C-alpha cells in the first residue's frame, strides 16, 4: 500500500498522520509506504492575507501534486520496488491529486495490471478533464 498525504499535512511526521493505518497494516502483514512530496508550502512562509494569495499557494501545490503523480507513475511502471506485487493507493486531500495524476500516466503507458485498488479521502481534485466540460 502506498499512502499519500495532502497539502496541509505535507511535511509532518509519518507516524502521526498514518499511525493507525501503519499499526493496522503491520498487524496484517501488509507493507505500507508513505509517498512524501513537496507541495511548495513552507512552514515559515507568511500566511496569505488575501484569497488571491491562498488560491495561488493552493494552485502551486496542485501543480506540484500532478508532477509528483507523474513521477510516481513512471517509477511504478518500471516496477520499482514492486516487481510482482499489486499495489493499493490511499490518498488524502491533495494526495488524491497525486494519485489521480499517477493513474492517468499509468493508463497512458498501458500499465493495467499493477493497481489493486484506490481509496481517495476528502479529495481536492476533479474527476474529469477541463476539456470535457
- Domain boundary assignment for the chain: 2-132
Position of cell 503523480?
69
> Can you tell me the distance from the alpha carbon of 87 to that of 115, in angstroms, rounded to the nearest whole number?
5
Neighbours of 90 (CB within 10 A): 22
Residue 112, pLDDT score: 92
Phi/psi at 87 (5° precision): -120, 140
Span 12-40, pLDDT tens digits: 555 456 777 878 888 888 888 888 777 66
Residue 87: beta bridge partners? 115
| Cβ contacts of 125 within 8 Å, gap of 6 or more | 62, 65, 94, 96, 97, 100
Which pLDDT score, from 0 to 100, does residue 33 have? 83
Quickly name the fold that domain 2-132 has. Answer: Rossmann fold (3.40.50)
60-64, 87-91, 108-112, 115-119: range with lowest mean pLDDT:
60-64
For residue 28, the model assigns a pLDDT of: 87
How confident is the model at residue 59, as a pLDDT? 80
Length, in residues, of the chain: 133
Burial 21-43 (b: 16+ CB within 10 A, else e): ebeebeeeeeebebbebebbbee
Q: Check whether 133 has a pLDDT greater than 60.
A: no
Residue corresponding to grid cell 498525504: 5
Please give the biggest Cα pair distance in the chain: 49
Query: What's the order of all strands across the beta sheet hosting 33-35?
Result: 33-35, 2-4, 87-92, 115-121
Query: For the whole model, what pTM was predicted?
Result: 0.76
What pLDDT was estimated at residue 101?
95
Measured in whole angstroms, the distance separating CA 54 from the mean position of its chain's CA atoms is 21
Span 33-48, average pLDDT = 63
Greatest mean pLDDT range, 16-25, 61-70, 102-111: 102-111
Average pLDDT over residues 78-92: 87
Amino acid at each position: 500500500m502506498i499512502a499519500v498525504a495532502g497539502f496541509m499535512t505535507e511535511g509532518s511526521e509519518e507516524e502521526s498522520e498514518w499511525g493507525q493505518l501503519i499499526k493496522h497494516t503491520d498487524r496484517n502483514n501488509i507493507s505500507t509506504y508513505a509517498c512524501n512530496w513537496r507541495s511548495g508550502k513552507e512552514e515559515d512562509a507568511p500566511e496569505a492575507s488575501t484569497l488571491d494569495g491562498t488560491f495561488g499557494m493552493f494552485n502551486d501545490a496542485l501543480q506540484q501534486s500532478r508532477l509528483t503523480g507523474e513521477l510516481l507513475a513512471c517509477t511504478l511502471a518500471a516496477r520499482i520496488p514492486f516487481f510482482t506485487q499489486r499495489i493499493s493507493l490511499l490518498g488524502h486531500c491533495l494526495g488524491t491529486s497525486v494519485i489521480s495524476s499517477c493513474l492517468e500516466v499509468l493508463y497512458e503507458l498501458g500499465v493495467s495490471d499493477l493497481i489493486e485498488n484506490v481509496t481517495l479521502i476528502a479529495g481536492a481534485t476533479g474527476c474529469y478533464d477541463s476539456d470535457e466540460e
